[in-house]
């Protein structure tokens, strides 16, 4: 096995081994392993050509205390992962959905959280029979979503596995990758979760809630000058270990690269690909991620996928002027698919997933 060194001294896989040795195994791990084993076995026996994708989704927490009251988190709501899972199912994949607990889920995402509160889609029936019904204007879409959800459920195509902390996530990723090995080239890893780069190792973590009124637990100073100083360690570069040890060599591995600076995006995506030597990095900017992404491949190509202007969903946090600003090379002109009036925004995942499925087909048929 080739050695991947993060600092010129210790190979990445040794950092990973040490991490798993020093941090506690999540309680849910054995249950999740059993569910995954059963899921994979079912598909291997019943549809041997079925492809299975592991979609990771949402943010990871970094607890500050063992009995956790406070933690560090990030912005990810799991939209990318939950939406992508639906399009993978549409492409015929079975999906293992490793998601941050309480983040968005495939299908139910259409009716959850404050932007799509499910109660707003319902009303009391006007026939005075006491029933609650879906409002007329939402019937068609809800029927479609419900049918797709039920299809996935009845055919055992979707396995939901939650995690919370970065440590939970890494333990599960490792065990899922190993369990997916028998799938060979039919396994796809789609790593969309926003994983923390830093954490507090178990040996340095406070057991109880960090107190604000005494000087235990990292609080320094007194009165108005009291500060909480936290030292975080880097999370080992697990992607390297995933590619070179945990996953089957034949599987396809796709990671995401998130940046905020348009000038860095493509070069950082290229660096990641060079370092980990997996198959594809999908780059996205925080402010334009719902409208454009870039595929960076090992042949040096930079390929942009964009939702046409007229079909972009409105987004309060998005910055439309930045669309196109991270583009460095022009392999082909961006195509504006269609103009005209929009009823509903187009989801960028509807472009990403069919494209990925094609690349995956090519890898299955011709090898890497």
State the residues that interact with ligand 9Z3 by CB under 6 A. Answer: 76-80, 191-192, 194-195, 239, 255-258, 284, 289
* Residue 82: CB minimum distance to ligand 9Z3, A: 8
> Measured at the alpha carbon of residue 85, what is the angle toward residues 267 and 342, in degrees to the nearest 5?
85
Whose Cβ is closer to ligand 9Z3: residue 186's or residue 290's?
290
The alpha carbon of residue 270 and the mean position of all alpha carbons in its chain are separated, in whole angstroms, by 19
List the alpha helices (DSSP H) in the chain.
12-22, 29-46, 79-90, 139-154, 166-179, 238-241, 265-276, 349-366
* Residue 343: CB minimum distance to ligand 9Z3, A: 22
Whose Cβ is closer to ligand 9Z3: residue 158's or residue 272's?
272
- C-alpha–C-alpha distance, residues 194 and 111, integer Å: 23
- C-alpha–C-alpha distance, residues 354 and 356, integer Å: 5
For strand 187-191 and strand 52-57, is the pairing parallel, antiparallel, or unpaired? parallel
* Residue 192: CB minimum distance to ligand 9Z3, A: 5
- C-alpha–C-alpha distance, residues 338 and 309, integer Å: 9
How does DSSP classify residue 244?
Answer: I
Whose Cβ is closer to ligand 9Z3: residue 80's or residue 311's?
80
Whose Cβ is closer to ligand 9Z3: residue 78's or residue 106's?
78
For strand 94-100 and strand 252-259, is the pairing parallel, antiparallel, or unpaired? unpaired
Whose Cβ is closer to ligand 9Z3: residue 73's or residue 140's?
73
* Residue 259: CB minimum distance to ligand 9Z3, A: 7
* Residue 69: CB minimum distance to ligand 9Z3, A: 25
* Residue 206: CB minimum distance to ligand 9Z3, A: 26
Scored b (16 or more CB within 10 A) or e, 4-41 reads: beeeeeebbbbbbeebbeebeebebeeebbeebeebbe
CA distances to 26, 152, 169, 312 from 16, rounded to whole Å, are: 16, 35, 13, 40
* Residue 358: CB minimum distance to ligand 9Z3, A: 20
Whose Cβ is closer to ligand 9Z3: residue 118's or residue 198's?
198
Whose Cβ is closer to ligand 9Z3: residue 16's or residue 195's?
195
* Residue 74: CB minimum distance to ligand 9Z3, A: 8
Beta-sheet strands, E only, within the chain: 52-57, 62-63, 71-72, 94-100, 122-124, 132-134, 158-163, 187-191, 198-199, 219-220, 227-228, 233-234, 252-259, 280-285, 292-297, 302-306
Whose Cβ is closer to ligand 9Z3: residue 219's or residue 267's?
267
């Amino acid at each position: 096995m080739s050695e991947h060194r993060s600092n010129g001294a210790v190979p990445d896989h040794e950092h990973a081994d040490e991490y798993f040795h020093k941090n506690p195994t999540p309680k849910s791990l054995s249950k999740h392993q059993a569910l995954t084993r059963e899921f994979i076995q079912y598909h291997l026996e019943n549809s041997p050509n079925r492809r299975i994708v592991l979609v990771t989704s949402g943010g990871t927490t970094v607890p500050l205390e063992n009995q956790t009251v406070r933690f560090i988190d990030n912005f990810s709501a799991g939209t990318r992962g939950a939406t992508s899972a639906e399009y993978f199912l549409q492409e015929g994949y079975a999906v293992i959905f490793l998601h941050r607990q309480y983040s968005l889920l495939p299908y139910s995402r259409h009716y959850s959280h404050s932007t799509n509160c499910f109660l707003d889609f319902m009303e009391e029936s006007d026939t005075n029979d006491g029933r609650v019904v879906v409002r007329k204007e939402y019937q068609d879409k809800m029927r479609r979503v419900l049918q797709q959800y039920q299809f996935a459920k009845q055919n055992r195509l979707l396995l939901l596995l939650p995690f919370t902390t970065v440590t939970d996530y890494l333990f599960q990723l490792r065990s899922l990758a190993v369990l997916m090995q028998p799938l060979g080239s039919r396994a796809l890893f789609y790593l969309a979760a926003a994983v923390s780069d830093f954490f507090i190792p178990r040996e340095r973590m406070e057991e109880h809630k960090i107190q604000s009124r005494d000087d235990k637990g990292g609080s320094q100073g007194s009165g108005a000058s009291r500060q909480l100083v936290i030292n975080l360690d880097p999370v080992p570069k697990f992607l390297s270990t995933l590619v070179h040890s945990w996953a089957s060599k034949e599987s396809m591995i796709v990671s995401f690269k998130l940046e905020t600076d348009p000038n860095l995006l493509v070069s950082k995506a290229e660096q990641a690909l060079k370092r980990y030597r997996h198959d594809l990095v999908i780059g996205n900017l925080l402010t334009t991620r719902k409208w454009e992404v870039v595929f960076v491949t090992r042949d040096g190509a930079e390929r942009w996928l964009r939702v046409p202007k007229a079909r972009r969903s409105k987004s309060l946090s998005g910055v439309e002027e930045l669309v196109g600003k991270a583009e460095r090379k022009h392999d082909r002109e961006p195509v504006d698919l269609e103009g005209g009036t929009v009823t509903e925004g187009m989801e960028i995942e509807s472009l990403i997933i069919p494209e990925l499925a094609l690349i995956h087909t090519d890898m299955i048929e011709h090898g890497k």
